[in-house]
Amino acid sequence: MARDFKRTDRVGDQIQRDLASLIQREIKDPRLGMVTISHVKVSKDLGYADVYFTVMAFGELSELDAIKNASQILNNAAGFLRTELARGIKLRVMPQLRFHFDESVERGRHLHGLIEKAWQQEAKRADEDEDNHGN
């Protein structure tokens, strides 16, 4: 009988939930901003967990600076976060955490903008054609 979920997927989901909570409660760095853990991909041997995050810039920080700060802070705190995760998740070996900015959300936002712009241009063209043919 085939399983619906692989073990690495289940471990990744648990790490994602626990990390989101830990980052919110334990990391007090004011430069961090609002971080969301969007996905965790765990290697087959459970040696590494690639943690993908998004961040919302705040104050006068640019989006790029917010990403850079968040990446640096999270990667510096990886050892602490790994230790805290190991207390709550019972695994023989807790995976090493590697944090990466999740560009898929930004790419989706950009594509949505392009589609919206094309839709508006098409609607405008249709209105102009209707006006020209209607007279």
Q: What is the mean pLDDT of each run of 10 residues along the chain (135 residues)?
A: 68 90 86 86 90 84 85 91 87 88 81 87 82 67
pLDDT at residue 1, as a whole number: 41
Same domain, 64 and 108: no
In a domain, 2, yes or no: no
Question: How many domains in the chain?
Answer: 2
Residue 34 belongs to what domain range? 7-101
Q: Has residue 19 been placed in a domain?
A: yes
Question: Using alpha carbons only, what angle is made at residue 101 by residues 58 and 32, rounded to the nearest 5 degrees?
Answer: 35
What pLDDT is attached to residue 53?
Answer: 92
DSSP sequence for 51-86: EEEEEE--TT--HHHHHHHHHHHHHHTHHHHHHHHH
Q: What is the CATH number of the domain that holds 76?
A: 3.30.300.20
50 and 114 together in one domain: no
Task: Specify whether 53 is located in the same domain as 85.
Answer: yes
User: Do 109 and 85 fall into the same domain?
Assistant: no
Q: What is the pTM of this model?
A: 0.73
- Give pLDDT, residue 67: 87
Cα dist. 15→36, 100, 103 in Å?
13, 15, 20
* Domain-embedded: residue 94: yes
Same domain, 67 and 55: yes
79 near 63, Cβ under 8 Å? no
pLDDT (0 to 100) of residue 4: 55
Q: What is the pLDDT of residue 134?
A: 60
- Statement to judge: residues 134 and 109 lie in one domain: yes
The encoded tokens of residue 6 equal 């692989």
